[in-house]
Chain A
Amino acid sequence: MDMPAKAKQFPLPSSLKVVPGTERAQAAYPYYTQFEAADDQRFWFYNSMHFPEPMSAFDMVTAEAAYCALGSANTRVHCLPTTLGIDHRIINGRVYIGGNAVTDPAEIARRLEEFKQRAFYYYANWERLYDQWRDKMMALIHSAQALPTPYLPDLEPLANVHAGRGIAANHTLLDTYQKTLEGYFRMWHHHFEFLLLGYGAYLTFFDFCKKAFPEITDQTIARMVAGIEAEIFRPDDELRRLARCAVALGIDPHFGKQLSATQLIETLRTEGEAGRAWLKELEVSRNPWFNINVGDGFYHYHRAWNDDLSMPFASLPDYIERVKAGETLHRPVEKLLEERKQLIEDYRELLTTEEERAAYDQMIGLAHRVFPYVEGHKFYCEHWYTNLFFNKIREFGALLAEHKFFGDAEDVFQLTHYEVESAIIDLMTAWSNGSLPRGPGHWPKLIAERRAAIREWAKHETPPALGVVPDVIDDPAIVMLWGITRESLDTWLSSGADSDPNELKGFAACRGVAEGTARIVKSVDEISRLQKGDILVCQVTNPTWAPIFGKIAAAVSDIGGSMSHAAIVAREYGLPAVVGTGNGTSRIKDGQRIRVDGGRGIVTILG
């Protein structure tokens, strides 16, 4: 990078204006998330990895709860020596974040001693603590499942009265809502209990490999560490199992009839013994493995397979065809494990001294111990629990819609979590008093305004970073979680200056070169547009999309790193993939011919 970086600067937060006409929607976000004058002194970057689209008022809770938990783990629990938590700000629906570094050497030294007593205890007792973690997480999931559906009877049921319950149904609304919110914040604490320590151990090995083998690719290191039997592969494995079942039971012809999921289930229910047997197997798969959502879990509209079977069902015909053609569709777990082992041994052999080999063994050993958590937690946290959470809020949405607070249950997500509570209290109060709630006169206009604001915000590009560029980024949390380094900032600063307009760069996720027709797929509903040989261009790929990986020629995503699950799955399918292009879905037009070079991380628009 010979370009003088100082010549360009990111805009200051104070110069970034709220899109005209959306000021009131912007004001809906809590005061502590609004930029203030002092923020001009700090460096911020747009968290497009987790929040690629403008966030609705309610969905902001995913940022708030996550940063709250991440920060407490870093700052107060494990005491990372050189960094505290991450502050966040919201403007135009976009989430900007900034780290808090520790720079005073005495404070670093003090924190280092604490870190050794805390983090090292986790490393030393990882398996036991992780087992305990699973129990905690399952208990949390069960308590969320046990929460009642919010409901207001006309009169308190007689049984409650005779039982001397002493609290009325409206209080249960508040109780349930607060427990829902509390559970969600708690879930994020569990999420970060191990995460940074896990990434840190992984990156330690990564760093060693980069020093020992300066030209090794990220994906090779990822292949050495990645787990083979992680929970994240299970949903797709279940689909393959269901495809085998369908063929074994002889009901496979029904899957080729282009029926909707509902029609198909109805047909099988009335089909006789075989159909019902398959539906039973479907239930086994659904609980819990279909509790996986089609995004990363940060948006309420990333629905779970269980809530929308069209996604998993879309891939069944293809799998069934392959079973009929003689494939078993079993993932070759033994073979994959053997390959991983060989890869690790081969690189080990290239090291020059026994001393280096001993260090390598320790680091890969640690990475292997921590990685099941890094891979496994997502299923429980971002998928299973998050689905339960959003669906419970959706139930409140339905209740509020029933009482004319707004037209549609989904409108609830246009309220902040504080506002949802206020609407619930409004409703509770009205129910108590036999009067009318004020909400129906208050919310519809605001909701329309906020929906319009999100549409407007989505049209505006937002700067990748704001404020003063630091000389070095040595905040391990930021480097680890977002892969942001001084070098990537320089690239952002110079982007557009000398780049080829027909070329997009991203992370090389899976090698191989493929050409084909680009299909911009922004939501799951559009999956059916993908024809065999097409190239999927999307914002985030997710393990749940794996079933269509067998059909397409390559995949390109806006977001993701070489260790993202999409990259792992792509490698397993041998599907050329470039992830983290930043803006592939906006620069590539649907139907264009593109070439994907997954080994180099380059996408070329051919026309």
Chain B
Amino acid sequence: MAMNDSEMVGWFAELGLADRPQVGGKGGSLGELARAGIAVPPGFVVKTAAFERFVESAEKEAPFRALVDSVDADDLAAVTVLSQQLRARVEATPLPSQLAAAIERAYAALNETQQAPVAVRSSATTEDAADASFAGLQDTYLWVQSLEQTLEKVRSCWGSLYSVESITYRRRHRFPERDVAMAVVVQTMVDARTAGVMFTRSPLTGDRSVMAIEGSWGLGSAVVGGEVTPDRWVIGKITGEISVREISNKQICHVPRNEGGIRSVAVDESQRLRACMSDVELEALRLIGRKVERHYGRPQDIEWAVDRHSGAILLLQSRPETVWSSRETAPVGRPAEDPSLHVLKIFGGVNR
């Protein structure tokens, strides 16, 4: 059965959250951001249809999904053996030629102006489960240097769906395997001068009127992985007022490795105590955060980076903030029959 490219590959600008069944949580979110006019590193998603196609061709040789459906989640040894077996198969099975050609064309289009390293990121989905359930269970490959490597990493991402943790998780939650699919995001790598995270509400108090920004030199993986104490700011979401400004001693940073991947290096002595973001950049980031939050209608947890060469601020990820949102408390006030009654809170005589 022939498929055209757009069934297998989708560009960010064409995608949105509604496409999650086809492009996974990460792909849908990046597409949604791009469509909302937020700058994200350009890229495309190898859709779940491509994965299905691949699994189909694999199933022709031997059963594939059925093996997962029947494994006992509590039998670690069995899961481990199955995992090794399936991952080896995924990585050894060649891509159907039509699919390889579609990815090759997309890769070429992405690198039309210049050959740039890409990030290859797993973006799994199930038919109805939120993608959050898979967070952290799939692989991401940074600084992938060529088409050949990209094709290899796409398969590695698919393979990560069959890691011991992933299989165990799915079996424990009884997700039927036929509903589980994996899309893969391929996007231009940002050579980040500074990167970090942003919460569009206070992580300390849950205050929705401020944003907390943390950032450090180099790639964001150092901040996300907790390998450096980042600079920290608290900014009024509406006023832009910077109420907290903590510049920390940033000793290491993550930078790309020539042969692909990343490495940790010491930060130059003179840069360690320097703020990694200017006030102007923080203001720009605030406006981006507001736009994203408005677009989604709820507080967000965002990963961002500043391009070393262009100085542009790009978003790598945005997902709903979950900690405070899940514990909304009683309203801080209720309308009163007579507005004057509110003043009794100040003048006393009640609630004491």
By a beta-carbon cutoff of 8 Å, the part of chain A in contact with chain B is 80-83, 108-109, 111-112, 115, 119-120, 123-124, 197, 200-201, 203-204, 207-208, 211-217, 220, 343, 346-347, 350, 352-353, 355-356, 358-363, 365-366, 474, 476, 480, 511, 599-600
Give the residue of A108, A124, A207 whose beta carbon is less than 8 angstroms from that of B348: A108
Please name all residues of chain B whose beta carbon is closer than 8 Å to the beta carbon of A82 when the two chains form the complex.
Answer: 347-349, 352
Also in contact, A366 and B208, with CB within 8 A (given A81-B349, A208-B332) = no
Interface: B310 (CB within 8 A): no
Q: B208 and A112: CB pair below 8 A? A: no
Q: A350 and B340: CB pair below 8 A? A: no
Q: Which of chain B's residues 336-350 have a Cβ closer than 8 Å to chain A? A: 336, 338-340, 342-350
Also in contact, A80 and B347, with CB within 8 A (given A213-B207, A356-B333) = yes
Query: How many Å lie between the Cα of A152 and that of B209 in the bound state?
Result: 67
Give the residue of B205, B242, B332, B338 whose beta carbon is less than 8 angstroms from that of A356: B332
Please name all residues of chain A whose beta carbon is closer than 8 Å to the beta carbon of B202 when the two chains form the complex.
Answer: 214-215
B-side interface mostly: loop
Q: B241 and A217: CB pair below 8 A? A: yes
Q: A119 and B347: CB pair below 8 A? A: yes
Nearest neighbor of B245 in chain A, beta-carbon distance: A600
| Segment of B17-25, B53-61, B231-239 engaged in the interface with chain A | B231-239
Sample 15 A-B pairs with CB under 8 A, ordered by A number.
Answer: A115-B347, A123-B339, A200-B346, A203-B346, A204-B346, A207-B346, A217-B236, A220-B238, A350-B238, A359-B334, A363-B333, A363-B342, A366-B339, A476-B348, A511-B241
By a beta-carbon cutoff of 8 Å, the part of chain B in contact with chain A is 202, 204-210, 234, 236-239, 241-243, 245, 328, 331-336, 338-340, 342-350, 352
Query: From residue A77, how far is it (CB to closest CB) to chain B in Å?
Result: 14
Also in contact, A360 and B333, with CB within 8 A (given A216-B207, A476-B346) = yes
Give the residue of A343, A359, A360, A474 whose beta carbon is less than 8 angstroms from that of B336: A359
Also in contact, A216 and B349, with CB within 8 A (given A358-B335, A362-B336) = no
In the A-B complex, the 4 residue pairs with the smallest Cβ-Cβ separation, listed nearest first, are A81-B349, A359-B333, A82-B348, A358-B335
Please name all residues of chain A whose beta carbon is closer than 8 Å to the beta carbon of B331 when the two chains form the complex.
Answer: 352-353, 355-356, 359
Q: B350 and A112: CB pair below 8 A? A: yes
Query: From residue A476, how far is it (CB to closest CB) to chain B in Å?
Result: 5
Count of A-B contacts judged by CB separation below 8 Å: 135
Give the residue of B209, B241, B352 whose beta carbon is less than 8 angstroms from that of A350: B209
Nearest neighbor of A220 in chain B, beta-carbon distance: B239
Query: How many Å lie between the Cα of A115 and that of B343 in the bound state?
Result: 11
Q: B238 and A359: CB pair below 8 A? A: no
Please name all residues of chain B whose beta carbon is closer than 8 Å to the beta carbon of A111 when the two chains form the complex.
Answer: 349
Give the residue of A81, A212, A355, A600 whose beta carbon is less than 8 angstroms from that of B347: A81
A-side interface mostly: helix
Q: A350 and B348: CB pair below 8 A? A: no
Query: How many Å lie between the Cα of A492 and that of B331 in the bound state?
Result: 34
Nearest neighbor of A508 in chain B, beta-carbon distance: B243
Extra pairs beyond A200-B346, A212-B209, A220-B241 (15, CB < 8 Å): A81-B347, A81-B348, A83-B348, A123-B340, A201-B342, A204-B342, A217-B243, A343-B239, A350-B209, A350-B237, A356-B331, A356-B332, A359-B333, A359-B335, A476-B346
Query: From residue B201, how far is it (CB to closest CB) to chain A in Å?
Result: 9
Nearest neighbor of B349 in chain A, beta-carbon distance: A81
Query: How many Å lie between the Cα of A362 and that of B350 in the bound state?
Result: 19
Query: How many Å lie between the Cα of A213 and that of B208 in the bound state?
Result: 7
Give the residue of A197, A203, A215, A365 whose beta carbon is less than 8 angstroms from that of B207: A215
Query: From residue B106, how far is it (CB to closest CB) to chain A in Å?
Result: 40
Nearest neighbor of B325 in chain A, beta-carbon distance: A352
Nearest neighbor of A597 in chain B, beta-carbon distance: B245
Q: B342 and A366: CB pair below 8 A? A: yes
Also in contact, A352 and B334, with CB within 8 A (given A109-B349, A200-B347, A215-B234) = no
Q: A599 and B243: CB pair below 8 A? A: yes
Q: A214 and B205: CB pair below 8 A? A: yes
Q: B339 and A215: CB pair below 8 A? A: no
Please name all residues of chain B whose beta carbon is closer than 8 Å to the beta carbon of A204 when the two chains form the complex.
Answer: 342-343, 345-346
